[in-house]
Structure 1
Amino acid sequence: MAELSDPTDHFKDYSARLAQTLQVFDWAPVKALAEDLFGCWQEKRQLFLIGNGGSAGNANHLANDFMYPLSKTLGSGIRAHALTENPAVLACLANDEGYDEVFTYQLAVMANPGDILLAFSGSGNSPNILKALDEAKRRGVKSYAVVGFGGGKAKTMADVAIHFPVDDMQIAEDTQTILGHMIVQWLYKHRHHVTAA
Structure 2
Amino acid sequence: MIPDKSTHIRSYFDRLRAVLDSVNVADVERLIAIFEDAYNRDAAVYVCGNGGSWSTASHWVCDFAKGASSPGKRRLRMFAPGDNVPMLTAYGNDVSYNAIFAEPLRAYARPGDVVILITASGNSPNILEAATVAREIGATIVGLIGFGGGKLAAMTDHNVVVASREYGPVEDLHLILDHIVSTFLKEFIAQ
Question: Does structure 1 residue 150 correspond to structure 2 residue 186?
Answer: no
Counting matched residue pairs gives 191
Q: What is residue 186 of structure 2 aligned with on the other side? A: 188
Structure 1 CA distance for aligned equivalents of residues 108 and 40 of structure 2: 19
Query: After alignment, is 69-78 or 147-156 more displaced?
Result: 69-78
Structural RMSD (CA)? 1.2
TM-score, normalization: structure 1? Answer: 0.93
Residue segments in structure 1 that go unaligned for 5+ positions in a row: none
Query: Which AA in structure 1 matches 2:10?
Result: K
Q: Which runs of 4 or more aligned residues in structure 1 lie more than 6 Å from their structure 2 counterparts after TM superposition?
A: none
Larger relative contact order (Cα-Cα within 8 Å, sequence gap ≥ 6): 2
Conserved? CA contact 2:54–2:82, under 8 Å: yes
Conserved? CA contact 1:48–1:81, under 8 Å: yes
Q: CA deviation at 1:9?
A: 1.2
1:84 to 74, 82, 100: 82
Q: CA deviation at 1:40?
A: 1.2
TM-score, normalization: structure 2? Answer: 0.95
Q: Report the 3-state secondary structure (helix = DSSP H, G, I; strand = E; otherwise coil) of the residue aligned with 1:49.
A: strand
Q: What is residue 14 of structure 2 aligned with on the other side? A: 16
Q: What is residue 124 of structure 1 aligned with on the other side? A: 122
Structure 2 CA distance for aligned equivalents of residues 192 and 161 of structure 1: 27
Structure 2 CA distance for aligned equivalents of residues 125 and 90 of structure 1: 19
Residue segments in structure 2 that go unaligned for 5+ positions in a row: none
Aligned runs of 1:26-37 on 2, under 5 Å? 26-37=24-35
By percentage of residues, which structure has more helix?
2
Query: Which AA in structure 2 matches 1:33?
Result: L
Query: After alignment, is 101-110 or 22-31 more displaced?
Result: 22-31
Conserved? CA contact 1:29–1:162, under 8 Å: yes
Structure 1 CA distance for aligned equivalents of residues 7 and 72 of structure 2: 46
Identity %: 30
Q: What is residue 40 of structure 1 aligned with on the other side? A: 38
Q: CA deviation at 1:150?
A: 2.4
Distance change (3 Å), C-alpha of 1:12 and 1:187: same
Q: Report the 3-state secondary structure (helix = DSSP H, G, I; strand = E; otherwise coil) of the residue aligned with 2:184.
A: helix
